[in-house]
Structure 1
Amino acid sequence: MPSASNSHLTDPACAALQPWLPDLADGQVLPAEVAHLAAHLPACPACQAELAELRTLFNDLDALPPELPPLALRDNFLAMLEEEKAKLAAASPSGMRAARGGQPLAAAPAAPAVAVGPRAATQQWLRIAASVALVAIGAVLGLLLRGGQLGQQLAQTAPPQPTLSMRLAAARQQPASASQRLQLVSQAPAMVVEPNDPAVLTLIHTLDTDPNPNVRLAACDALFRLRADPRVGPALVEALPLQTDPNVQITLIEVLVTLREKRAVPQLEELAQKPEALPAVRQQAESGLGQLI
């Protein structure tokens, strides 16, 4: 006589329902064409047990803290990216400029002659002519800039460019898309070059109030890169109780621990005991307390 487990594996009703058990465990409704298979579940203890195991597994997976790259890794990656971009810019043909004094740079050694057809030869001569024109334009611009004439003309005719702070504030007030706000926030660390730049306050306000969690994450990362500003540390501490998205909460805790912000201890203690916070967030808060106390 076959055992109960073997009969479960060979029962056609069990076999038909089994591929849909993960969907049921995830809280989904079966499609109409297979909805009748759910009628087998109340009468089958084996399928019920397997469904319960899947639900437990899914809950355990949801409770795991998200894997986030260390902040130092992101810094290293961005530095490496900028270095590679500089190398590509230096190696590109557009990197040729007029030398000091308005004289063009010496031409590179000519490449070996290659037999080409009429069409390819025409394209080659067009590229050579364009290169010569660029060198000539560069020499003229060098002479004009040396005399200050072009700089004065541009100063008189070019309209003033909006600052980063103005652009961020306009993006908040106007119906700008989340991707546009995200792009502006991501550009901030490279554009803030002066002490007490008002863009830092705009980033702090973005972290506190932007409705999109990805924009708030970008603002948190931008403020971490601007951590030399004395306004950043206290603002990050005050921002923690305002956050409700788990990813933003966990990232902000990681930033505060990296900055050794002991002023965040009360906020971390409160978050570690907050019943509505996800277990992963409470666990991250407890870990942060252990490193700051």
Structure 2
Amino acid sequence: MKDQHLKRVLELTFATLLISTSGSLGRYIDMPAPVTIWFRSGLAMLILLAYCKYKKIKLKIESKKDLGAFVLSALFMASHWITYFIALRLSSVAIGMLALFTYPIMTTFLEPLFSKTKFDYMHLLLGAMVILGIYILSPELDFQSDSVKGIMFGLLSAFCYALRILILKQYVTTYHGSSLMFFQLLIITIVLAPALFFLETTNITTQFPYIIILALVSTAIGHTLFVQSLKHFKVSTASIIGSTQPIFGIIIAFLFLNEIPNWNTFFGGMLILSTVVIESLRSRKTA
């Protein structure tokens, strides 16, 4: 039981690492956010379609109610990705990701509204620790600069992401994680298709390699593993464990974009990581 729980925590951490590559890629790719998301979703959808066919994973929506939930969650997912990429462009990888990672706090308050899960008051303390860590990590802001706009878009992205995973949480026991992600990507691809006719797409020839990495590593593999992990953790638990994503993202940005972190980054990162350790130990006792 303990070994199985450790394996699940490691799988969730690995999924978080893969998803965190989207920060640097989103800031680096030189295309409008809706266009980037369309290519990201379309390519990842094809990858997952091939995987599901190979693994004989059923791709069937059981009811109209399920379809409605999938459409709604996909719209929240598309909104999350677009606002997140805008936040990255306006500010930096660190600011964009840290603003996004207020979503664990949002899920702790929203989760009891979506399920019979009893509100865990310990998550208030852990959430406060995450907020303090984010506060320490964040640089001083000029409220006349784009950084504030980046934070606002990041907070909106966080809200959309929290709603999306709370909706999908209700279906992880009846649908495979790969099929859930496939349906999401299919809907996003259809909804964002008009963007190709109104926004600039000429840069796709030079940006395509990075789009492929974004689609395969961050989306098809990372997000599918994360959705699959919801079978074994409460959303709030998965969210807090996933709070290591800004740490991974800042390290990747340092290595590939030369965005150099300061001492606040290390101190804030240690505080966020401590919440991951605490929540992992707590969830292990109840697993």
**TM-score, reference length from structure 2:** 0.23
Structure showing greater Rg:
1
**TM-score, reference length from structure 1:** 0.22
